[in-house]
Amino acid sequence: MTLPVSARRHVAFDWGGVFTIGTFDGRSTQNVADRGGVPVERVRDSYFRHVRQLEVGAWTLPQFWAVLQEETGLQLPYEDFEPLYLGSIHDNAPMYATLAALPQAVRVGLLSNNYPVVSDHLRRDPRFARFGALVFSNELGHKKPAPEAFAALEQAMEVPAAQVAFVDDVQENIDAAVAAGFHGLLYHHDRHAEFEAALGRWLNG
């Protein structure tokens, strides 16, 4: 990727499906079902009905787990659930390499529909020191594709949205970003080289 020496354009990313391979939710529900010995469909039914409570910060992770236990019959204690949950993250190494290659003149942000404990875990990751702006839905109280989420990202980036490319793996979120004034880049990990070329063109535009 050809990158500018000094930038007037910047970039912000989603996390799940961009810095991870596949969906965190799909992997975590499968891992919980396997460990707990209950059908994954039962876990996913409860999980996806309530996960918004985590995404907007209405519930803590222990509260969420207590509801899942009650509805699914899972007997796993929270102390075992939390490391299993965090261990469901599968890093997308090429994207972390792209992140590390961005010159310091490029301001980098993150806008993620995320969860208590997980967002804290990411903040402790040394690789996340490269982000100048971290916006997590569970701390903001609004999740993508809500306009409030993108307004918060623009504020955190401290540059106009028109100067920022937003990278996400969900078309609905890209559409919302574009409506908010950002340049949208739809991502899939199988086409990472294609994405890097598009990002390079944007940053050098």
Domain spans, the chain: 10-22+90-203, 24-86
Computed over every residue of the chain, the mean pLDDT equals 94
Alpha-carbon span 100 to 108, nearest angstrom: 11
CATH class name, domain 10-22+90-203? alpha beta
Rounded distance between C-alpha atoms, residue 107 and residue 132, angstroms: 6
From 85, 58, 44, select the one nearest 76 (Cα to Cα).
85
Task: Look up the pTM and report it.
Answer: 0.92
Per-residue confidence (pLDDT) for residue 166, from 0 to 100:
98
Residue 36 gets the label, from left (phi > 0), alpha (psi -120 to 50) or beta, of alpha
| Distance separating alpha carbons of residues 29 and 46, to the nearest angstrom | 10
Distance of alpha carbon 15 from alpha carbon 36, whole angstroms: 27
* The two domains 10-22+90-203 and 24-86 share their CATH topology (first three levels equal): no
Distance CA(126)–CA(85), nearest Å, equals: 20
CATH topology of domain 24-86: DNA polymerase; domain 1 (1.10.150)
DSSP 182: P
Condensed to tens digits (0 to 9), the pLDDT of residues 115-127 reads 999 999 999 999 9
**Is pLDDT at 4 greater than 60 in this prediction?**
no
SS3 of residue 165 by DSSP: strand
What is the rounded end-to-end Cα distance, in angstroms, of the chain?
A: 13
What is the mean pLDDT of the segment spanning 8-34? 94
| Residue-level pLDDT at 1 | 53
Distance CA 9, CA 16 (A): 23
